[in-house]
Amino acid sequence: KTVIQAEIDAACELTDFLRFNAYYAQEVYKYQPISPSNEVSNTYRLRSLEGFVAAISPFNFSAIAGNLSSAPALMGNAVVWKPSSTALLSNWIIYKIFEEAGFAPGVISFLPSKPLDFSDHVISSPDLAAVNFTGSVATFQTIWRNVADNLTKNKTFPRMIGECGGKDFHLIHPSADLQTAITQTARAAFEYSGQKCSACSRLYVPKSIWPKIEVGLLDITSKLKLGSPLEFDTFLSAVIDGASFKRIKGCIDYAENDDNHKILIGGQATFEKGFFVEPTIIVTTDPHSKLITNEIFGPVLTVFVYDDNKIDQTMELIDSSTPYGLTGAIFANDKKFLQKSIDRLKYSAGNLYINDKCTGAVVGQQPFGGARVSGTNDKAGAPHYLLRWVSPQNIKQTNVPLHDWSYPYMSSAK
C-alpha cells in the first residue's frame, strides 16, 4: 500500500472496527423478550459459542485481519488465528497490540501455519465452533468441504462466515456525469494495484459516450505513478508476490494474443525491482471473456462497450456473467433509470454505489459483504456481524405455583 492507503487501513479502519464492535456489542446485549405479567419473567442471554473460532485472514487488509480475530473474542470466544503467509509481521504487531490492550493471554492464539497443517489440526478439531474467513473462493470451498466431512465428529454445527472477493462492476449510463464516472473508475480500478476484493475490474460503457470516456481514462491512467509506496506522489506500487504477478501477467498476455481484446494502455509487467504491473486498460468485444468473468486481483480494467439501446441486455450481462456478487456502481443522473437499475441489479452486489466508486466501504457507514460466491454476506462493520459469534439462550421463570393439572376450559365443557 501507499503511505496514505496504509494509514487508512491499519490505523483508521482497524480502530473503527474495534470501537464500533464494542458499541454494537453493548447494543445487542440490551434486547430482552416480553414478560407479559409479574407471574412470568423471560430473559435472553447471549452465550459464547461452544468451542473455538478459526480466523483465517488475507494479506491485503490489516483491518480485516484484526477484525476477523478480535470480533469473535470480543463476544467471549477463544480464537485460533491463521494469518496470511505474506502478512505475518503486520498481523503479529496487531496481535501484540491486542495483548497489550487487555485481551487475556490465550484468548487469541496466533498460529502461522501451512494451509494443510491448519486444516488437519484446527479445522478438523471436534471443538471447532465457527470459521471466520477472508480469501479466495477455492480456499473457502475447500474449508467448507473439510468442515462438512467432520460433522459427525463435531460437538456442534460449525458456523461458516466468509468473504471471498468479487468481479466488481461500474455501469455507466448515457445520462451520467462523465468526469465523475471517469475519475471514480480510475480510482476504483487502480488504487492499491487493484488488490482489493472490491476493486472495479469490469466497466460497461454506452457506445455514444465511449470516445469521451476512453480519452478521459487514458489521460488519468497515463499520469498514475507506479513506484515506491513510501513516496507520497505514488498512486500504486508492486503486487504482493510472484504468484500474483504471474497470474496478472498471464491475463495481460492472453489479451495481447486474442483478437477479441485490445490493450489501450499499460500492459507492461517487470520484476527487476519488485513485482510491478502497470495500470492496464483492456477493451473487449466478448462480454463473456475470462477477463470479464474471472477475478484477477490486479491493476487490470476490462471494458465492454454496449449499444445504447441494449441497456437491459447489458444489465443482464452484469448480473449473470460472473458468479460473484460483492460490489458494483451505477453512474447515471436519469432518476427513472437509477430506480430501474437498482432493482434489476439488487442481487449483483452486496454493496451497491450510486455515482460513486465501488471501493472504500467505511465501518459503520457501509457494512461490507457480498453473496453468491463472494461470501456469506454477514456484513462486517454492522451489529448483525457480532450476532454470528454468540449462541442465544432464552430462560423462562414462572413466579406463581401451579397445583391444578387441569385447564379452566375443561370444567366449563361439562
Q: What is the pLDDT of residue 273?
A: 83
Q: What is the pLDDT of residue 265?
A: 98
Q: How confident is the model over 328-346, as a mean pLDDT?
A: 98
- How far is the C-alpha of 194 from the C-alpha of 359, rounded, in Å? 10
- How far is the C-alpha of 52 from the C-alpha of 30, rounded, in Å? 25
Q: What percent of the chain has pLDDT over 70?
A: 100
Q: Say if residues 170 and 328 touch (Cβ distance below 8 Å).
A: yes
User: Nine-digit cell at 135?
Assistant: 480469501
Q: What percent of the chain has pLDDT over 90?
A: 97
DSSP 287: T
Q: How confident is the model over 38-49, as a mean pLDDT?
A: 96
Q: What is the pLDDT of residue 196?
A: 96
Confidence band, pLDDT 50/70/90 cuts, at residue 164: very high
Q: Rounded to 5 degrees, what angle do the CA atoms 117, 118, 123 make?
A: 125
Beta strands in 12-164 (DSSP E): 40-48, 52-56, 78-82, 108-110, 128-134, 159-163
Domains of the chain, first to last: 3-164+375-398 (3.40.605.10), 168-354 (3.40.309.10)
Nearest in space to 158 (alpha carbons), one of 49, 55, 69: 49
pLDDT in tens, 220-273: 999 999 999 999 999 999 999 999 999 999 999 999 999 999 999 999 998 888
Q: What is the pLDDT of residue 413?
A: 59
Q: What is the pLDDT of residue 270?
A: 84
Average pLDDT of the residues of the chain? 96
- Phi, psi for 133 (deg, rounded to 5): -130, 140
pLDDT in tens, 168-196: 999 999 999 999 999 999 999 999 999 99
Confidence band, pLDDT 50/70/90 cuts, at residue 408: confident
Q: Is the pLDDT of residue 414 over 70?
A: no
User: Nine-digit cell at 132?
Assistant: 471466520
- How far is the C-alpha of 176 from the C-alpha of 178, rounded, in Å? 6
Q: What is the pLDDT of residue 342?
A: 98
pLDDT in tens, 391-403: 999 999 999 999 9
Nearest in space to 34 (alpha carbons), one of 42, 26, 24, 44: 42
**What dihedral do alpha carbons 171, 173, 178, 184 form, nearest 10°?**
-20
Q: Is the pLDDT of residue 412 over 80?
A: no
pLDDT in tens, 357-369: 999 999 999 999 9
Q: Is the pLDDT of residue 330 over 90?
A: yes
pLDDT in tens, 198-213: 999 999 999 999 999 9
One-letter amino acid at 408 equals P
Q: So which residues are the catalytic ones?
A: 163, 197
- Phi, psi for 157 (deg, rounded to 5): -85, 110
